[in-house]
A and B are shown apart, each in its own frame.
Chain A
Amino acid sequence: MKVKVISRSTDEFTRERSNDLQRVFRNFDPSLRTQEKAVEYVRALNAAKLDKIFARPFVGAMDGHIDSVSCMAKNPNHLKGIFSGSMDGDIRLWDLASRRTICQFPGHQGAVRGLTASTDGRILVSCGTDCTVRVWNVPLATIMDSDDLSDNSAKESAVYVWKNAFWGVDHQCDGNLFATAGAQVDIWDHNRSQPVNSFEWGKDTVISVRFNPGEPNILATSASDRSIAIYDLRMSSPTTKLIMRTKTNSIAWNPMEPMNFTAANEDCNCYSYDARKLDEAKCVHKDHVSAVMDIDYSPTGREFVTGSYDRTIRIFQYNGGHSREIYHTKRMQRVFCVKFSCDGSYVISGSDDTNLRLWKAKASEQMGVLLPRERKNHEYREAVQNRYKHLPEVKRIVRNRHLPKPIFKASALRRIMGEAERRKDERRRAHSAPGSMPKESIRKKRIVKKVE
């Protein structure tokens, strides 16, 4: 006879000293855990509810400007520094951690319309409606960290007066050129007092310009003739132009897929394009109820933030048709500029009410240092929620957002209008000769033509 029975000695399964950690034994056998799917579902539901409870995205407001904030620039060299320019010609450098002005850059007579910092973070370029481009030396990071704020105004290192008012400026991501947008696109060098190159295509004003993050010689502009144009500095003439039905207010390149860019359009939508194939948008991002004023990509390239004239900020997935998040406060007015922070965890918005506002990119994220167990718990919650996100109850909780009444009404109205348009289109098609009215996808519909 051979016999063995389970026999556990207490010493083997408990800790030796009271200072030790309790011993943990695992057995992953599914039969020990009954109804595990139901348990997971309940956990997912709880995770969704907790997410809602902890969703407190607003971190703080930064006030100091005395007119609406028109433009912002990130300091690529310093995570917590951000430049903002306002309509009264004031430029400020903010410390995001303490939410104070560190430095002011006085000089502009009219509104500041464009701000950009060089890649090394040492030079700030601003331009405005007073027909000047100003180049500034950015104070060192060590000064930023000090508490001494006695000398808090900087002097410009160069002022270039030019023929026309400027609407935007952007610095090359790798090099020492920068481009300004105005009556035409001018390419400037740090060391020259006149543009080294200038491009013109049509007579209308160019309102925004953005260099490609991957290929330093390529830039995209949008103009008030409803066009988006792509220029190559190595060629004497612009390469491609796309005319849409409505004006594009701003453009942002995807930093991780540098051939793709997203255009913030006046018709409340954003359009993602592949720069090599402009005859069709890759994705249409709908949700805003008024003109989208500014757009900025997260450094991860997976999502972008948009600010709109409807007083809200929305965060979209790079390939998502609808926003995953909407931010608004009662006091926030028309949003003119938005930026993702360089670490992708915060969003900064500048609006008509002269304030900059700091938001979390993930509304319910816990800030500060997380203990490993805490982090694991967060990860687990996210995973179960992700697994059950398609179920109606979880979906309802995750998707529900409180909207300000005007936005809610406007979006309902837009939905009705869209539906009516679709119905009308359908009827027209039904009553016309078959094939005479081909169905046009929304991705192509808003494009008027493409010019080479």
Chain B
Amino acid sequence: MKEGMTRLYNWYEMRSIQYAEQHNVDLQNFKPVKMGVEQEDGSLTKIPPPEEQEFLDEMDIKVKKYLRGGSANLEALRDKKLKGQLAVREELYGKSAKAAVKIEKWLMPSEGGYLEAEGIEKTWRIKQESIAREVDLSSSKNQYDIVLPDLGPYTLDFTSSGRYMAVAGRKGHLAIIDMMNMGLVKELQVRETVRDVTFLHNEVFFAAAQKKYPYIYNRDGTELHCLKEHGSVLKLQFLKNHFLLASINKFGQLHYQDVTTGLMVGNFRTGLGRSDVMQVNPFNGVIALGHSNGSVTMWKPTSGAPMVKMLTHHGPVSALSFHSNGHLMATAGTDKKIKIWDLRKFEVLQTLPGHAKTLDFSQKGLLATSTGSFVQILGDFSGSQNYSRYMTHSIAKGYQIQKVMFRPYEDVLGLGHSMGWSSILIPGSGEPNFDSWVANPFETPKQRREKEVRSLLDKLPPETIMLDPKKIGTLKPRTKRREKRSKEEREAEMEAAVADAKSSVSTKRKTKGRSKPSRRAKKMQEAGERAKRPFLEQQKQEEELSKNKKQKISEQSEQLPKSLQRFVSKKAGS
């Protein structure tokens, strides 16, 4: 089976959509074909046994995930050849989705973790010690505290496979740790402030934001690059698919640098002051910044203005995190609120009380929040995006947690705090089955080199970062667009026409009395008026149109959620 069996609605779909728009066909009313045995009245169709039926129902739900959206409405197509081709393709997509479901059902090597309370127990009262007693020895090794009191609050980062961890102490301590055998790969002391650390595309390279500039080191601790253009960086993020290193510096400048070519792809002033809250949305590569005025802005490297500005909190934003499906964002503010946002509608789904200095979503959608020495894990167990308490944990009193981060493909939460770092078990947080071609915790050096080459071949251009990445591969629907002329141009054109009309008035001498100067002047004026009329009429029409548009916009802005209303463009023309 091929990697990336995505369903694409490029040209074909656009054609069908265009057709549907022309003929008022509702594309939303598409009903997927139901699996199973169709039963007609009186016919002797065989009814599958209950367990099989159950499996079929379960499959129906799971197939949807692999179909990646509904199919195009073929009924609305008039082109029979195209319809036939599309029908074949749709069938193929359905088959591959079913095969993927069967693989998920039967061939996955491991199952996800869980924590279930029995009787009057509550999951959030269960202590790490009691979990350690129940789980196997190798898992209980993942609970530990490393105490390094001298080198100050620690921050950490994992590779995408979860195998390696980079830690950075504020006072210049950098280390890379192999989490599989808990071996220290490299440790170095840079003897200046380190604010953040991030791995690049694999564990061989990492970048550290130091006192004046960010630096790139390799696994052996050799300094490879000093990125002077970034300035003194507060937060670093790496965009894996695009090979872009993004940073936000003290002056609120956002930099994007391509680490393969060294090209500075984007350099933008946010204009909202110092900010040390930055997070990449893994779903689409958009970078979100949290600001001290309570707004969150979302950026892409190809435009100097933020794509989205939303007011999230009254007071500074202290942390934010994205769910891996790209639809959910969690923000925390100093107004003692944690909010969960739906990024499709830019609406608050849930507001939870509480401080959070750092937030992180796990692969399976658990949300870790932390303040002081207290960690709380929230989970969405109702399936309706309603987050409730799942687990809690307190580290030794007085330790200030700097950063929480879930380890990918493991049920482990890493905590960087003022006295070192710790690791606790959070059952059900990680994806149990890894894909060797995506992120392999058991990667050999040869595989790593191979993957580096492949990922460089698939490196995405910065233009592919957009709010809806599913738009790539589709065609823009045709829109009628007239080029707009400026007011001066229009006026110049009108004047030219008037002058033309005036000069064309004949100055021939006529019979006595008919070519008096007053008459000639009147005639000229009349001609000018006549030439002016169409221009004036057009202007009037345009004004009316823009007035209507303005009205519409004001209506629209009322429909928008409160947080976005003040960012609605007031200009009618845009």
CA gap between A279 and B326 in the complex, in Å: 59
Q: Is A432 an interface residue (CB 8 A)?
A: no
Interface-lining segment among A127-135, A288-296, A385-393: A385-393
Q: Is B307 an interface residue (CB 8 A)?
A: no
Q: Is A369 an interface residue (CB 8 A)?
A: no
Q: Is A9 an interface residue (CB 8 A)?
A: yes
CA gap between A320 and B324 in the complex, in Å: 45
> What number of residue pairs across chains A and B have CB atoms under 8 A from each other?
169
CA gap between A271 and B549 in the complex, in Å: 54
Is there contact, CB below 8 Å, between B115 and A3? Answer: yes
Is there contact, CB below 8 Å, between B241 and A8? Answer: no
Q: Is B414 an interface residue (CB 8 A)?
A: no
CA gap between A441 and B100 in the complex, in Å: 48
Q: Is A176 an interface residue (CB 8 A)?
A: no
Chain B contact residues: helix, strand, loop or mixed: loop
Is there contact, CB below 8 Å, between A6 and B66? Answer: no
Is there contact, CB below 8 Å, between B10 and A391? Answer: yes
Complex interface: chain A residues within 8 A of B225 (CB): none
Q: Which of B1, B134, B442, B473 contacts A3 (CB 8 A)?
A: B134
Q: Is B513 an interface residue (CB 8 A)?
A: no
Q: Which of A1, A27, A30, A391 contacts B134 (CB 8 A)?
A: A1
Which residues in window 93-146 of B have CB below 8 A to A?
Answer: 100, 103-104, 107-118, 121, 126, 130-131, 134-136, 138-139
Q: Is B409 an interface residue (CB 8 A)?
A: yes
Contact with B along A15-42 (1 / 0, CB 8 A): 0000000111111111111111111111
CA gap between A4 and B475 in the complex, in Å: 47
Is there contact, CB below 8 Å, between A387 and B433? Answer: no
Q: Tell me how many residues of B have a C-beta within 8 Å of chain A.
A: 77
A-B contact pairs, 8 of them (CB 8 A): A2-B115, A4-B135, A8-B441, A10-B442, A30-B68, A34-B284, A38-B464, A387-B473
Is there contact, CB below 8 Å, between B411 and A6? Answer: yes
Interface size class of A (residues with CB under 8 A): 35 or more
Q: Which of A1, A6, A22, A40 contacts B110 (CB 8 A)?
A: A6
Interface-lining segment among B50-58, B247-255, B452-460: B452-460
**B-side interface residues toward A, CB under 8 Å?**
1-6, 8, 10-12, 65-66, 68, 100, 103-104, 107-118, 121, 126, 130-131, 134-136, 138-139, 180, 241, 282-285, 324-326, 409-411, 425, 427, 430-442, 444, 447, 457-461, 464, 469-470, 472-473, 475
CA gap between A12 and B461 in the complex, in Å: 38
Q: Is A54 an interface residue (CB 8 A)?
A: no
Given contacts A5-B425, A35-B464, A391-B10, 19 further A-B contacts (CB under 8 A): A1-B121, A2-B114, A2-B116, A3-B114, A6-B409, A6-B430, A7-B138, A22-B444, A24-B437, A25-B440, A27-B433, A32-B438, A35-B285, A38-B241, A39-B241, A46-B457, A380-B2, A387-B8, A387-B473
Complex interface: chain A residues within 8 A of B68 (CB): 30
Q: Is A14 an interface residue (CB 8 A)?
A: yes
Complex interface: chain A residues within 8 A of B438 (CB): 27, 32-33
Given known contacts A30-B65, A36-B6, is B441 in contact with A391 (CB within 8 Å)? no
CA gap between A43 and B126 in the complex, in Å: 48
Is there contact, CB below 8 Å, between A12 and B109? Answer: yes
Q: Is A13 an interface residue (CB 8 A)?
A: yes
Is there contact, CB below 8 Å, between B66 and A28? Answer: yes
**A-side interface residues toward B, CB under 8 Å?**
1-10, 12-14, 22-43, 46, 380, 383, 387-388, 390-391
CA gap between A345 and B431 in the complex, in Å: 47
Given known contacts A6-B110, A46-B457, is B126 in contact with A1 (CB within 8 Å)? yes
Q: Which residue of B lies closest to A7 (CB)?
A: B139
CA gap between A383 and B433 in the complex, in Å: 27
Is there contact, CB below 8 Å, between A2 and B435? Answer: no
CB of A358 to closest CB in B, whole Å: 33
Q: Which residue of A lies closest to B97 (CB)?
A: A28
Given known contacts A25-B434, A40-B473, is B458 in contact with A1 (CB within 8 Å)? no
Given known contacts A3-B115, A8-B441, A38-B472, is B139 in contact with A25 (CB within 8 Å)? no
Closest 8 A-B residue pairs measured CB to CB? A390-B11, A38-B464, A5-B411, A2-B116, A5-B113, A27-B435, A27-B433, A28-B100
CA gap between A23 and B436 in the complex, in Å: 8
Is there contact, CB below 8 Å, between A3 and B427? Answer: yes
Complex interface: chain B residues within 8 A of A23 (CB): 436
Q: Which of A13, A35, A383 contacts B460 (CB 8 A)?
A: A35
Is there contact, CB below 8 Å, between A39 and B118? Answer: no
Q: Which of A7, A10, A383 contacts B135 (CB 8 A)?
A: A7
Complex interface: chain A residues within 8 A of B138 (CB): 7, 9
Is there contact, CB below 8 Å, between B108 and A27? Answer: yes
CA gap between A390 and B110 in the complex, in Å: 41
Q: Which residue of A lies closest to B136 (CB)?
A: A7
Complex interface: chain A residues within 8 A of B109 (CB): 12-13, 25
Complex interface: chain B residues within 8 A of A42 (CB): 458-461, 464
Complex interface: chain B residues within 8 A of A2 (CB): 114-116, 118
CA gap between A380 and B458 in the complex, in Å: 14
Is there contact, CB below 8 Å, between B116 and A1? Answer: yes
CB of A254 to closest CB in B, whole Å: 18
Is there contact, CB below 8 Å, between B5 and A28? Answer: yes
CA gap between A388 and B103 in the complex, in Å: 27
Given known contacts A32-B431, A388-B10, is B464 in contact with A3 (CB within 8 Å)? no
Complex interface: chain B residues within 8 A of A30 (CB): 6, 65-66, 68
CB of A200 to closest CB in B, whole Å: 42
Q: Which residue of B lies closest to A38 (CB)?
A: B464
Complex interface: chain B residues within 8 A of A10 (CB): 180, 442
Complex interface: chain A residues within 8 A of B411 (CB): 5-6
Q: Which residue of B lies closest to A26 (CB)?
A: B435
Q: Which residue of A lies closest to B443 (CB)?
A: A22
CA gap between A3 and B113 in the complex, in Å: 7
Q: Which of B4, B11, B136, B326 contacts A39 (CB 8 A)?
A: B4
CB of A87 to closest CB in B, whole Å: 44
Complex interface: chain A residues within 8 A of B118 (CB): 1-2
Complex interface: chain A residues within 8 A of B458 (CB): 39, 42-43
Is there contact, CB below 8 Å, between B134 and A25? Answer: no
Is there contact, CB below 8 Å, between B436 and A26? Answer: yes
Complex interface: chain B residues within 8 A of A40 (CB): 4, 6, 8, 473
CB of A279 to closest CB in B, whole Å: 22
Complex interface: chain A residues within 8 A of B104 (CB): 27-29
